Amino acid sequence: MSLSTRDNEKIDAIIAILKQCKSVLFITGAGISADSGLPTYRGIGGLYNDKTTDEGIPIEDAISGRMMQTNPTLVWKHIHQIEAACRGAKFNRGHEVIAEMEKSFDRLWTLTQNIDGFHRDAGSKNLIDIHGDIHQLICTGCGRRSRVKDFSSLKIPPYCPDCSALIRPEVVLFGEMLPFQKCQLLAAELQTGFDIIFSVGTTSVFPYIAQPVIEAKYRRIPTVEINPGQTQVSSAVDIKIAAGAAESLDAIWKRY
């Protein structure tokens, strides 16, 4: 799908603002990974659309911190499904553009809800992956960490070779708290402030995802949303491009 004439006019306006900016915040969701072939619909990692799993329980229960403690086999079954949906996929032009832009501005940060690791793979350094990375595993006993890109050889559930304790991915499961250090980092960067904020491919249903955009509106900081659909922040942003993330970001960067 090509950008409309109106969208191209909006891109010109975005570029004019960007040329005056030294600091940029990108807030990204599952939509930015859609061009990589990953699903954007409901659930952790954007995998589940139905309210219940094959076991007939809510997905919020099946992939929860509580269930990881009581029935890790069930949780890992669904984690395997999430990883399988990501397997073989890689970052796309949207991720690349953000990584390239990071090198061209005094300060550029990316806050992502995605657990696919694509921003890091594309080269982003200033990254707050607030929900974690599914490929990063940690032992619940000794804290041993490992990075595994393909879960097909993992046992369900996997156990630590050093201490035999349960291994889990370093992601925020349903019912768990956001990681304290990442929240601190986000708060510090927001306190420092940004000259422009982009919301890309996210419905912004979580308060900590929508709030930076809402606060920017009241502080008269320019805001941009790139999303084909209407979201929680669509009515608040200054400029909305109702198109795909990769196409829109590539057009902005090529003409910058």
Instruction: Tell the residue number behind the tokens 């806050």, with chain if given.
Output: 111
Which amino acid, residue 105?
Answer: F
95 among known catalytic residues: no
Instruction: Tell the residue number behind the tokens 């790139």, with chain if given.
Output: 226
Query: How far apart, in whole angstroms, are the C-alpha atoms of residue 194 and residue 95?
Result: 20
Helix residue ranges per DSSP H, 29-178: 59-62, 65-70, 72-86, 93-102, 118-122
Instruction: Give which of 121, 125, 123, 124 is closest to 134, Cα–Cα.
Output: 121
Establish how many alpha carbons lie within 13 A of residue 214's alpha carbon, considering only the half-sphere containing its beta carbon: 11
User: Coil, strand or helix: which one is 82?
Assistant: helix
Characterize the bridge pairing of strands 167-171 and 132-139.
Answer: antiparallel
Query: How far apart, in whole angstroms, are the C-alpha atoms of residue 222 and residue 184?
Result: 24
Q: Which of 78, 95, 119, 131 is catalytic?
A: 131
Residues marked as catalytic: 131
